[in-house]
Amino acid sequence: MKTEIIVIGNEVLLGCVTDINAAFIASELTKLGIEVGKTVIIPDEEKVILQSLKSGLERADAIIITGGLGPTHDDITKKTVSAFLKRRLVLNDKVLLDIQTHFAKKGIRMPHVNTSQALIPQGAMILDNPLGTAPGLLFEEEFGIIILLPGVPTEMKTIFTQAVKPYLKDKAGGNVILSQTIHTTGITESELYEKLQSIQKTGNIAFLPHFTGVDIRITVEADTMENGRNKLTKVSSLLIDKIDDYYYGSDDETLERVIGILLSMRRKTLAVAESCTAGLFMKTITNVPGSSLYFLGGVVSYSNVAKKKLLKVKEKLLKQKGAVSREVAKVMADGVRSLMKADYGISITGIAGPGGATEDKPVGLVCIGISDDKSTYSKKFNFPGIRDSIRKQAVQAALDLLRRRLLGIEKDSE
């Protein structure tokens, strides 16, 4: 089965919004072994929509369209596709009720314009949208399949996963393509490339560098799901073995999830003191549902007053070493651990920029401390980039330091 994706919307085409829908749909289709031939991004214009739809149907078995299903005048996707298929739009009571219920839950009267979203082309299969007001629509025609999805990414993803994916999987059959993403952190792309040079020929391997680490994506094709899984496991085991302790997880696994599992298993608790990252570490730790089991809380000590009052950093030390120093990071980690009576204390203090640098302390300098009942340790980093990326790299490094401490794979010596 061959597909094409059409993304409709002036705001996407003109770059006001970066499209993330096509990438999601394409990677999901690839997992099913369904070929994606092309993605086009086009304006909310009847003529262009019709032209793209027609030429797409000449090449592909199914066309997936996102965007332009909203209630306002510039949303013309449904109208245009219905006209192309010569289908009348009919008010659907069930959909209307869904939309009314959606607003009722929010405690809002349904605005009149939303009625238009309950107009459904005759013969269309309705794909429920539990998060919004525009349902997805599916047309199974002689010349191909046409699927319309809303442009709001959360709504699109939900409808795609719940309805479109099982439908297309059933239609496609054939070979399966499986892939796995292996996450690493603390090592550069070229170091990793050299480490893995001997086994790069064993499969389709791609390096995807991000500034918080390098992902490695393995893709295999096989006749059955089982053979595919075996092939994938063989390659990924080889790779993970070589990557050693820079590897922290695969696919949906994140550093914060890995840490959550380690802390839960050991029945240990965590408290955090953040300065330059100002809450981003704690926000990340609590991305994991149920993190209240091991995360007690913490302090954002953006001002020195907060460092002194809550974390017991001495005025003298601040003057001698400066707020961004390994010494202050250690006191902060100890301080928050004792304040919250936690098993582990983590601290981050640094200069995120653009201001705040001095002659010997540049933008990007970050000190991270870790404390438990046995020892306290701190480490100094120099992160490249701007405010936002420096803060993200600092959080990633702090998470990795905690992971290594929990696994006992980093020495505590300074």
Does the footprint of a copy of itself cover residue 105 (CB under 8 A)?
yes
Contact pick of 58, 86, 93, 108 for a copy of itself (by CB under 8 A) = 108
- Distinct helix (H) and strand (E) counts, the chain: 15, 17
- From the list 87-95, 199-207, 235-243, 255-263, the region that binds a copy of itself by CB under 8 A is 199-207
Count, residues near a copy of itself per rule CB under 8 A: 106
For CA atoms 301, 305, 310, 312, give the dihedral sign.
positive
- Considering beta carbons, is residue 139 or 336 the nearer one to a copy of itself? 336
The alpha carbon of 294 is separated from its chain's Cα centroid by a whole number of angstroms, namely 23
Contact pick of 20, 90, 225, 265 for a copy of itself (by CB under 8 A) = 20
Q: How far apart are CA 63 and CA 141, in angstroms?
A: 11
- Considering beta carbons, is residue 87 or 181 the nearer one to a copy of itself? 181
Q: What are phi and psi of 317, to 5 degrees?
A: -65, -40
- From the list 119-127, 168-176, 223-231, 305-313, the region that binds a copy of itself by CB under 8 A is 305-313
Q: Which of residues 369-408 bind a copy of itself (CB under 8 A)?
A: 382, 384-389, 391
- Considering beta carbons, is residue 139 or 307 the nearer one to a copy of itself? 307
Q: Which of residues 33-92 bind a copy of itself (CB under 8 A)?
A: 36-43, 48, 52, 70-74
- Considering beta carbons, is residue 142 or 305 the nearer one to a copy of itself? 305
Angle between helix 255-265 and helix 387-407 axes, rounded to 10 deg: 30
Q: Which of residues 175-194 bind a copy of itself (CB under 8 A)?
A: 179, 181, 188-191, 193-194
Look up residue 155 and give its DSSP letter.
H
- Considering beta carbons, is residue 122 or 204 the nearer one to a copy of itself? 204
- From the list 200-208, 229-237, 240-248, 255-263, the region that binds a copy of itself by CB under 8 A is 200-208
Does the footprint of a copy of itself cover residue 165 (CB under 8 A)?
no
Secondary structure of 39-108 in the HEC alphabet?
EEEECCCHHHHHHHHHHHHHHCCEEEEECCCCCCCCCCHHHHHHHHCCCCEEECHHHHHHHHHHHHHHCC
Which secondary-structure segment (H or E) carries 377?
Answer: strand 376-382
The alpha carbon of 146 is separated from its chain's Cα centroid by a whole number of angstroms, namely 28
CB of 41 to a copy of itself, least distance (A): 4
CB of 87 to a copy of itself, least distance (A): 25
Per-residue contact flags (x/-) with a copy of itself for residues 209 to 248, judged by CB under 8 A: x-x-----x-x-----------------------------
The alpha carbon of 236 is separated from its chain's Cα centroid by a whole number of angstroms, namely 22
Give yes or no for a contact between 382 and 345, defined as CB atoms under 8 angstroms apart: no
